[in-house]
Amino acid sequence: MTEKALPRHVAIIMDGNGRWAKKHRIKIALGHRRGVETLRDIIRESSDIGIEVLTLYAFSTENWSRSPEEVEALMGLLLEFFISEIDELDEKNVCIRILGEKSALPLPQQEALMKAENRTKENTGLQLNIAINYGSRPEIIRAVKTIAEKVRQGKLDIDRIDESTMSEALYTAGQPDVDLLIRTSGEQRLSNFLLWQCAYAEFTFPTVLWPDFTLKEYHAALDDYMHRDRRFGGRKE
């Protein structure tokens, strides 16, 4: 059998922290804390094995509807993560990009995110996208507005709008589409994540909860992907 390539772009919906906490009869915030440990391992591994783009769903535009305590805990962990990890990520040549609307976040978080992006913007290793206050529909609306504004200013001809115009107006501009989408915890839905970018993605839904998602499981998902037959609408003899 021919050796198949690793996915260029892996996207992960890190789901199941709440259920993990419940299962262990501990506070939800501690479930999220354990989730951050998994995230750290997955980022390191992705960088080590040469994944080109890794996109992690950390906080959706819908997650604001959770209790103020939980939202606060998540925001706290976010800040902690960026402060504690930035040196190592920068050292590993990781380029950080935030997907989502930062302006709705608390100021210290906004600052930490912008700092991380600025500090790592020239890095040429793993492109790490972290989706925070992200929703795919708001992303698409934002892109449409950007495109419409260019048309209004006479900088873009309507007839020249094509798929690449749209791709380049999204947060993921310049990056390849998602090849493999992983959602842990057994849920099988997109929850407003990367609708445009996942047009031809392969999906895998490991039942394990995110804090229990190990490198072994990650490799199983990658391996599964490498055995898929991607046809993109065509036919292979």
| Interatomic CA distance for residues 59 and 100, integer angstroms | 9
Interaction mask 88-127, ligand IPE, x per CB under 6 A: ----------------------------------------
E strand or H helix at 200, and its extent?
Answer: none
| Interatomic CA distance for residues 88 and 145, integer angstroms | 37
18 binds ligand IPE (CB under 6 A): yes
| Interatomic CA distance for residues 236 and 156, integer angstroms | 38
Q: Which residues, other chains included, contact 22 with Cβ-Cβ below 8 Å and sequence gap of 6+?
A: 28, 31
Tokens of residue 200, six digits: 């031809």
* Among positions 8, 19, 102, 228, the unique one binding ligand IPE when judged by CB under 6 A: 19
Closest CA to 178 of 190, 165, 186: 190
**Piece in contact with ligand IPE (CB under 6 A), picked from 89-97, 142-150, 182-190, 211-219:** 182-190
Q: Find which of Mg ion, ligand IPE, none residue 61 binds, CB within 5 to 8 Å per kind.
A: none
Between 19 and 142, name the residue whose CB sits nearer to ligand IPE: 19
CB distance 36 to 81 below 8 Å: yes
| Interatomic CA distance for residues 57 and 60, integer angstroms | 7
* Among positions 9, 15, 128, 198, the unique one binding ligand IPE when judged by CB under 6 A: 15
Q: Is the dihedral of CA 6, 230, 14, 217 positive or negative?
A: negative
Catalytic, 15? Answer yes
Catalytic residue among 17, 41, 48, 63: 63
Between 15 and 139, name the residue whose CB sits nearer to Mg ion: 15
Between 112 and 169, name the residue whose CB sits nearer to ligand IPE: 112
Between 14 and 116, name the residue whose CB sits nearer to ligand IPE: 14
Q: Which residues, other chains included, contact 76 with Cβ-Cβ below 8 Å and sequence gap of 6+?
A: none
Catalytic, 157? Answer no
CB distance 88 to 128 below 8 Å: no
What part of residues 187-206 is at the interface with ligand IPE (CB under 6 A)?
187, 189, 191
Min dist CB 182 to ligand IPE, Å, is 11
Q: Find which of ligand IPE, Mg ion, none residue 17 binds, CB within 5 to 8 Å per kind.
A: ligand IPE
Min dist CB 118 to Mg ion, Å, is 31
CB distance 13 to 184 below 8 Å: yes
Q: Which residues of the shown chain bind ligand IPE in the complex (CB under 6 A)?
A: 13-19, 57-60, 63, 74, 185, 187, 189, 191
Q: Which residues are catalytic?
A: 15, 63
